[in-house]
Amino acid sequence: AQSVTQLDSQVPVFEEAPVELRCNYSSSVSVYLFWYVQYPNQGLQLLLKYLSGSTLVKGINGFEAEFNKSQTSFHLRKPSVHISDTAEYFCAVTPQGSTLGRLYFGRGTQLTVWP
């Protein structure tokens, strides 16, 4: 079974500050990892994904994430945030090789960027 833990439910930061949103997962098999962003009253948009290769993954809007297999983590970072980054961020995993394609989500982290 898979589970995802997002350690912070809310992260407030000031504009232009760096931010890290933490994600840890538990799985008995290798997984693919994803970060999604949800703006108010909208659906989820894919920020980035880790499938294989380099453990540092770059996504849209200046975000990046680093896969750490030994720590089973996939933390999301941005060196300088904008007010427009205010949104809910979800970490998700899916087992490699699964034919079911089901995503397991964390509970989400609300990022609020203040001016």
Partner 1 sequence: NAGVMQNPRHLVRRRGQEARLRCSPMKGHSHVYWYRQLPEEGLKFMVYLQKENIIDESGMPKERFSAEFPKEGPSILRIQQVVRGDSAAYFCASSPPSTGLYGYTFGSGTRLTVV
Minimum Å gap between C-beta 23 and partner 1 is 11
Q: Are 76 and 46 in contact (CB under 8 A)?
A: no
Binding string, 44-83, against partner 1, x = CB under 8 A? xxx--x-x--------------------------------
Closest to 6 in 3D by CA, of 18, 21, 20: 21
- Distances from the Cα of 22 to the Cα of 29, 37, 75, 101, angstroms: 21, 14, 5, 23
Minimum Å gap between C-beta 105 and partner 1 is 4
- Binding piece for partner 1, criterion CB under 8 A, among 17-25, 60-68, 75-83, 92-100: 92-100
Considering the rule CB under 8 A, would residue 13 count as an interface residue with partner 1? no
Closer by beta carbon to partner 1, 15 or else 49: 49
Instruction: List the one residue from 68, 96, 112, 114 that touches partner 1 (CB under 8 A).
Output: 96
10: its two tokens: 């809310």
CA–CA gap between residue 83 and residue 32 (Å, rounded): 29
CA–CA gap between residue 12 and residue 85 (Å, rounded): 11
Q: Are 24 and 5 in contact (CB under 8 A)?
A: yes
By CB under 8 A, name the binding residues for partner 1. 4, 6, 32, 34, 36, 41-46, 49, 51, 90, 94, 96-98, 100-108
